[in-house]
Amino acid sequence: MARNKVEISGVDTSKLPVLTNEEMRELFRAYQAGDRSAREKLVNGNLRLVLSVIQRFNNRGESANDLFQVGCIGLMKAIDNFDLGQNVKFSTYAVPMIIGEIRRYLRDNNPIRVSRSLRDIAYKALQVRDSLTNRFSREPTIMEIAEEMGISKEEVVFALDAIQDPVSLFEPIYQDGGDPIYVMDQLSDDRQKDIYWVEKIALREAMNKLNDREKAILSMRFFEGKTQMEVAEEIGISQAQVSRLEKAAIQQMQKYI
């Protein structure tokens, strides 16, 4: 029987190794003791992680090979900075770093030009955010980032907004087996203010039927724009659990709207 082969950046993904948690820890101990070959084994043993991350960027029109190579840079940074003393899985630590590296690459290649000074502020804010995240073991607030940088929070927000990727009005933001909800569906229309007001009341009433954790998940996902992975890390559960709770909460709300 022929074996399926998918090659990306010269790597045959069907041959990528999978490391157990104990193998990972042994390799990290060896690498941190000075064994450079252990680093190569850690990289090769986690390339599947990079492949899983770049799938979320498939709709950007970017070369999968380019995204894979950039994701590998994030993976290597995660390997070099991972602390075995922290009670956290390597994948939990590495995924945000891989995503961050890819997002930086996409921002650098954004066709919409942003002034150099504004980009410098934004990149400095991202570095400070990562530093404070490690220090506080949580995502810092915009105010904390601004205070660390010695600038106003408005400057931080403006700079970060300036380097965000443009979003299509027809990009789906949610779909649950039925018609998708697009970005344009979330834009206000002055001609329908009364309808919007009634719908907002209905939405608030439906939200009140949920428990505190379900409210927090929907708030972070649809009002703060966080990914399921980011929500999972913030409240301390898996991404799969967030997905199930999110779906159940929306179904529950539909009964009251």
Domains, the chain, in order of start with CATH, read: 1-109 (1.20.120.1810), 110-166 (1.10.10.10), 172-254 (1.10.10.10)
pLDDT confidence of residue 210: 83
Q: Which helix (H) or strand (E) holds 238?
A: none
Angle at 93 between CA 98 and CA 236, to 5 degrees: 125
**Rounded to an integer, what is the distance from CA 163 to the centroid of its chain?**
16
pLDDT at 1 over 80: no
For residue 70, count CB atoms less than 10 angstroms from its CB and return exposed for 0-12, middle for 13-18, buried for 19 or more.
buried
Q: Which two tokens stand for residue 208?
A: 């009140």
pLDDT at 194 over 50: no
pLDDT at 20 over 90: no
pLDDT confidence of residue 73: 92
170-174, 187-191, 252-256: which is most confident: 252-256
Residue scoring higher pLDDT (89 or 3): 89
pLDDT (mean) for 104-113 = 68
pLDDT confidence of residue 26: 92
Q: How far is CA 218 from CA 35, 93, 206, 238, in A?
A: 45, 24, 12, 15
Q: What is the pLDDT of residues 143-166, one digit of tens each?
A: 899 999 999 888 888 788 766 655
pLDDT confidence of residue 30: 92
pLDDT at 236 over 70: yes
pLDDT (mean) for 212-239 = 84
Residue scoring higher pLDDT (83 or 4): 83
pLDDT confidence of residue 115: 64
The per-residue pLDDT of the chain, averaged, comes to 77
pLDDT band, residue 11 (cuts 50/70/90): low
Q: What is the pLDDT of residues 47-81, one digit of tens each?
A: 988 988 888 887 667 788 888 899 999 999 999 98
26-40, 52-66, 238-252: which is most confident: 26-40
Angle at 68 between CA 64 and CA 72, to 5 degrees: 175
Q: Which two tokens stand for residue 157?
A: 């927000």
Which of 79, 91, 86 has the alpha carbon at shortest distance from 134? 86
Q: How far is CA 154 from CA 13, 145, 160, in A?
A: 45, 11, 10
